[in-house]
Chains A and B, each alone.
Chain A
Amino acid sequence: MTAQEVRLCGLLLQEHFGEVVAKVGTHLLKSGAQNLRTIIHETGISLDLVKKSLCVLVQHGTCVFSSGRKAPGSPTEYRTSCDRILRILRYPRYIYTAKTLYGDTGELIIEELLQRGDMTMSSTVKTVADRLTQNMEEGRSMDYSEVSSAFSKLVETHFLQRCPPMAGAGTKDSGTPATPATPAIPGTPAAPVSTAPPTPESFPDCYRVPHVTLIGRGKRRLSNEDGEDQRNAKKTKMDSETHGDEGIYWQVNFERFHLHFRDQAIISAVANKLDQTSSEIVRTMLRMSEVTTSPTATCTKPLSANEIFRSLPSSYNIPRPILDQYLTLLVDDPMEFVGKAGESGGGMYVVNLHKALANLARATLESVVQERFGSRSARIFRLLLRKRHLEQKQVEDFAMIPAKEAKDMLYTLLSQNLVQLQEIPKTPDYAPSRTFYLYTVNQLPTARMLLQNCYKTVANLIERRLFESKESKRLLEKSQRIEAILASLQASGAEPEQLTEVEEMITAPEKQQLEALRLHINKLDSAENQVDETIFLLESYVNSTMSVY
């Protein structure tokens, strides 16, 4: 939990849940596991608000509770972790992926689940159907069965999973989706004290869709119900119908999305380096091993060339010998995306996942050095990555850069900690004239450092966005008021002159300012998403190296 991560988590919590939750969340991040009383005491927030904040955090899966460490029966302790909160940054990407894979229905399902944390299938289906119906033309509505089938598809491909049942929660949460098990009640003493919360995957029913009786169509909200709905939006609607899936809550399976992103990154890298057909072959291989490969595997299960040939999409009918040639080329490529694991079945091939991630991380590091310091510094950086340890003179010779400039560049890289100096003494006293000084680059520590820089960058972007909105707060409020007046005038049937009169209340320079503000905020938003792509690559790389040990 580094300072940059905590800062970013605080900002994300503030944007999505508000000040109080942000305060409680960052406090828990900084101080580890604590019980309710300590939290209240140290943050100085009232019991009521703390309870509500903890509710929100638990609902979204960011906070876990367990019985105290000191003795069974001691008050429950609450713990948060950075990873889950940092996922909030990636929500837009998840929603977009669901849209590309499963259309609008999928997109809305994922969006609802991300917003609410966890929900039962029936309530999700109903809400999504209502939303879809709202956007359709008059007289048409969305059938529940369509939404249910989209939901089932998402579960089949493991994008959604059941929340693990809480020990001792039992009958406390029935019916209403938005009330989680109240945290103030400690778990029953008989429940085993486990140090790690059970993973959702450890339950056998994780991906089983329950039998739900859902018949009906989405309801369109009429305009006079608007005011009522707004009041009820936050309150939980007591559902008088039951559908046979009480107590079964579903959440988004982030790991599965991450595997999907990783596969996409590998496929686009192959497409850039080689050609479209090779990337299609790799895509087929990855698709075939989606469910058979564990998330932390170094490479996929071996696939025979015969299987690959059969599973290629029909639009690419390439003859069998050509496929063999493509596979051989993929194996021979220095990037080693694909490896050969045997000769049976026409050749057994695997996709080297960890190697591909390491190569992508290395390309990211090189690109950062190139953009920041220039192509000649990038040449020195790549040279050191290849040759590991080099003396000053050797660096100049290999890179063919004049001595003075090479020295300057090396020292700049050294001061930014991208390059390290290794001393090898010839004599036991480290006399400078009798020591070898070798320059070297260590990929993993450099990647970690860059990752922290990315977190700081995103936090900077968010802060700038908040600052820009705050600066123009007055203007924004004015424009909102004018829009509200316009809307009400239109609804009550006003004449065009009145409308133009109201519109002119915003002067032209103010309109320009608003336009500029809108552009700025969009730019900052998209920049956050771009930096998140880098964060994803580097995080996957760092995690892949850790899982080996």
Chain B
Amino acid sequence: KYCSKIKKKSLSVSLCLIKELCQQFPHGITDQVIQNDMPHLEPQQRAMAINKLLSLGQLDLLRNSSGLLYRMKDMQSTSKMKGSDNQEKLVYQIIEDAGNKGIWSRDIRFKSNLPLTEINKILKNLESKKLIKAVKSVAASKKKVYMLYNLQPDRSVTGGAWYSDQDFESEFVEVLNQQCFKFLQSKAEAARDSKQSPMVQRNSSFATSHEVWKYICELGISKVDLSMDDIETILNTLIYDGKVEMTVIAAKEGTVGSVDGQMKLYRGVNPVIQPTGVVRTPCGLCPVFEDCHEGGEISPSNCIYMTEWLDF
């Protein structure tokens, strides 16, 4: 009896000692460290103490390259979990690990090996306790990912500046598109009217992506903060519209707007040809071109598009 009392006392003492050690080393301690600090503690007792702390939820068990690590758990989060059972704690742990990208319910099931019904119950519980929240992913609109309540969802989930509430803001993109193009066009025209030597003309018609970004920010048409990368995606769409061309030049590090020693320059360009001849005839734009044959239902002789076009 005396032995067990001593054992219990020594257990609580060793618990305190281990906790103190953990607090001293917030990154975690290995078994070796505990052994060095308390050489009189037998391995069995050490193991018991550690298990007790783990089950109380005061220690975290981690694994690194050299072995097992024990780390002090955050007191706050442990208070949150009071009243939850182990399974909930496990699920919460998994969701926390997913960070701000969130995790899908099926992935939670894989990681925790819990049956689906259990998972759903736990998730409902945690949501009601306001510990986690569900965010709809913009990629697949039916998919819901779970993440911690106070975390800001990552861009890949919400779509970034171009999405507001899962809706792609086409008008916003269009407006930005037109504004950027107008800016570049006016710059090119100013360069052309300056009547200087051609090299100077061309160089002054260029605008760096930084300049365009500043212009758009000052215009104040965007309620969301746009980064330079966002502006560059808009400028890329202008390139695909054939209205703008881009070159990359080497820039000194530290120049405003340079990324990795390079700067992107954009300028407005004119189209190379006028709309080509075939599209000025009705046949070039005809939706039933394939079905048109002489002597058929649709033929050049009775074509209504041609009749309209001829009387125009």
Asked if residues B276 and A367 are in contact (CB atoms below 8 Å), the reply is yes
Partner of A527, one of B233, B240, B269, B280: B280
> Quick one: CB contact mask for A358-375 with B, threshold 8 Å, 1 for yes?
011001101110111001
- The docked-state distance in angstroms from the alpha carbon of A239 to that of B202 is 65
Asked if residues A360 and B202 are in contact (CB atoms below 8 Å), the reply is no
**B216 at interface by CB-CB < 8 Å:** no
- The docked-state distance in angstroms from the alpha carbon of A269 to that of B177 is 26
Smallest distance from the beta carbon of B202 to chain A beta carbons, Å? Answer: 6
Asked if residues A464 and B199 are in contact (CB atoms below 8 Å), the reply is no
Smallest distance from the beta carbon of A412 to chain B beta carbons, Å? Answer: 11
Given contacts A326-B198, A399-B240, contact A372 B279 (CB under 8 A): yes
**B278 at interface by CB-CB < 8 Å:** yes
Chain A positions within 8 Å of B281 at CB level: 457, 461, 527, 530-531
> Quick one: CB contact mask for A410-450 with B, threshold 8 Å, 1 for yes?
00000000000000000000000000000000000000001
Partner of B273, one of A360, A378, A456, A464: A360
Given contacts A326-B198, A530-B278, contact A382 B240 (CB under 8 A): yes
Chain B positions within 8 Å of A403 at CB level: 168
> Quick one: CB contact mask for A462-477 with B, threshold 8 Å, 1 for yes?
0110010000000000
- The docked-state distance in angstroms from the alpha carbon of A532 to that of B276 is 10
* Chain B interface category by residue count: 35 or more
Given contacts A326-B198, A460-B283, contact A400 B237 (CB under 8 A): yes
Asked if residues A372 and B242 are in contact (CB atoms below 8 Å), the reply is no
Chain B positions within 8 Å of A363 at CB level: 271-273, 276
- The docked-state distance in angstroms from the alpha carbon of A368 to that of B150 is 52
**B34 at interface by CB-CB < 8 Å:** no
Smallest distance from the beta carbon of A22 to chain B beta carbons, Å? Answer: 14
Asked if residues A334 and B245 are in contact (CB atoms below 8 Å), the reply is yes
Asked if residues B279 and A382 are in contact (CB atoms below 8 Å), the reply is no
**A322 at interface by CB-CB < 8 Å:** yes
Partner of B278, one of A366, A401, A453: A453
Given contacts A372-B284, A454-B278, A457-B284, contact A386 B240 (CB under 8 A): yes
Give the number of chain A interface residues (Cβ < 8 Å). Answer: 60
**A84 at interface by CB-CB < 8 Å:** no
Chain B positions within 8 Å of A326 at CB level: 198
Asked if residues B242 and A366 are in contact (CB atoms below 8 Å), the reply is yes
- The docked-state distance in angstroms from the alpha carbon of A178 to that of B168 is 73
**A79 at interface by CB-CB < 8 Å:** no
Q: Which residue of B lies closest to A401 (CB)?
A: B170
Partner of A375, one of B197, B202, B241: B241
Partner of B241, one of A378, A534, A537: A378
> Quick one: CB contact mask for A515-540 with B, threshold 8 Å, 1 for yes?
01001100110010111111001000
Asked if residues B278 and A398 are in contact (CB atoms below 8 Å), the reply is no
Asked if residues A467 and B300 are in contact (CB atoms below 8 Å), the reply is yes
Chain B positions within 8 Å of A450 at CB level: 278
Interface hits, B263-312 → A, CB 8 Å? 269-281, 283-285, 289, 292, 294, 299-301, 303, 306, 309-311
Interface hits, A255-290 → B, CB 8 Å? 268-269, 272-273, 275, 277-278
- The docked-state distance in angstroms from the alpha carbon of A386 to that of B173 is 21
Asked if residues A383 and B284 are in contact (CB atoms below 8 Å), the reply is no
Chain A positions within 8 Å of B177 at CB level: 400
**A329 at interface by CB-CB < 8 Å:** yes
Smallest distance from the beta carbon of A406 to chain B beta carbons, Å? Answer: 10
Smallest distance from the beta carbon of A269 to chain B beta carbons, Å? Answer: 5
Chain A positions within 8 Å of B269 at CB level: 273
- The docked-state distance in angstroms from the alpha carbon of A454 to that of B280 is 12
- The docked-state distance in angstroms from the alpha carbon of A375 to that of B241 is 8
**B69 at interface by CB-CB < 8 Å:** no
- The docked-state distance in angstroms from the alpha carbon of A531 to that of B270 is 23
- The docked-state distance in angstroms from the alpha carbon of A268 to that of B271 is 11
Asked if residues A457 and B273 are in contact (CB atoms below 8 Å), the reply is no
Partner of A382, one of B242, B270, B284, B311: B242
Partner of B240, one of A269, A322, A335, A379: A379
- The docked-state distance in angstroms from the alpha carbon of A273 to that of B283 is 28
Chain A positions within 8 Å of B204 at CB level: none
**A230 at interface by CB-CB < 8 Å:** no
Chain A positions within 8 Å of B310 at CB level: 519-520, 523-524
**A328 at interface by CB-CB < 8 Å:** yes
Partner of A371, one of B239, B284, B294: B284
- The docked-state distance in angstroms from the alpha carbon of A326 to that of B292 is 49
- The docked-state distance in angstroms from the alpha carbon of A277 to that of B192 is 13
- The docked-state distance in angstroms from the alpha carbon of A523 to that of B307 is 12
Asked if residues A460 and B292 are in contact (CB atoms below 8 Å), the reply is yes
Smallest distance from the beta carbon of A355 to chain B beta carbons, Å? Answer: 13
Given contacts A363-B273, A371-B279, contact A464 B303 (CB under 8 A): yes
Asked if residues A272 and B272 are in contact (CB atoms below 8 Å), the reply is yes
Chain B positions within 8 Å of A368 at CB level: 276, 278-279, 284
Asked if residues A367 and B168 are in contact (CB atoms below 8 Å), the reply is no
> Quick one: CB contact mask for A292-304 with B, threshold 8 Å, 1 for yes?
0000000000000
- The docked-state distance in angstroms from the alpha carbon of A400 to that of B173 is 8
**A402 at interface by CB-CB < 8 Å:** yes
Asked if residues A325 and B270 are in contact (CB atoms below 8 Å), the reply is no
Asked if residues B198 and A325 are in contact (CB atoms below 8 Å), the reply is yes
Interface hits, B155-206 → A, CB 8 Å? 162, 168, 170, 173, 177, 192, 197-199, 202
Partner of A367, one of B197, B237, B279: B279
Smallest distance from the beta carbon of A332 to chain B beta carbons, Å? Answer: 8
Chain B positions within 8 Å of A328 at CB level: 199
Smallest distance from the beta carbon of B231 to chain A beta carbons, Å? Answer: 12
Partner of B306, one of A380, A398, A464: A464
- The docked-state distance in angstroms from the alpha carbon of A364 to that of B299 is 26
Asked if residues B294 and A463 are in contact (CB atoms below 8 Å), the reply is yes
Chain A positions within 8 Å of B202 at CB level: 329
Asked if residues A379 and B241 are in contact (CB atoms below 8 Å), the reply is yes
- The docked-state distance in angstroms from the alpha carbon of A183 to that of B255 is 80
Q: Which residue of A lies closest to B277 (CB)?
A: A530
Asked if residues B234 and A400 are in contact (CB atoms below 8 Å), the reply is yes
Q: Which residue of A lies closest to B280 (CB)?
A: A530
Asked if residues A467 and B301 are in contact (CB atoms below 8 Å), the reply is yes
Asked if residues A379 and B198 are in contact (CB atoms below 8 Å), the reply is no
> Quick one: CB contact mask for B214-245 with A, threshold 8 Å, 1 for yes?
00000000000000000001101101111001
Cβ-closest 10 pairs across A and B: A530-B277, A371-B279, A457-B283, A460-B300, A402-B168, A467-B301, A534-B277, A464-B300, A463-B300, A533-B277
Extra contacts besides A335-B272, A382-B242, A457-B281 (9): CB < 8 Å: A273-B271, A334-B245, A366-B242, A368-B278, A453-B289, A456-B292, A460-B283, A530-B278, A534-B278
Chain B interface residues (CB < 8 Å from chain A): 162, 168, 170, 173, 177, 192, 197-199, 202, 233-234, 236-237, 239-242, 245, 269-281, 283-285, 289, 292, 294, 299-301, 303, 306, 309-311
Q: 26 pairs across A/B with beta carbons < 8 Å?
A: A326-B198, A329-B199, A335-B272, A360-B272, A363-B276, A364-B276, A367-B275, A368-B276, A368-B278, A378-B242, A379-B240, A380-B240, A386-B239, A398-B236, A400-B162, A400-B237, A453-B289, A457-B284, A460-B283, A461-B283, A464-B300, A464-B301, A464-B303, A464-B306, A531-B277, A532-B277
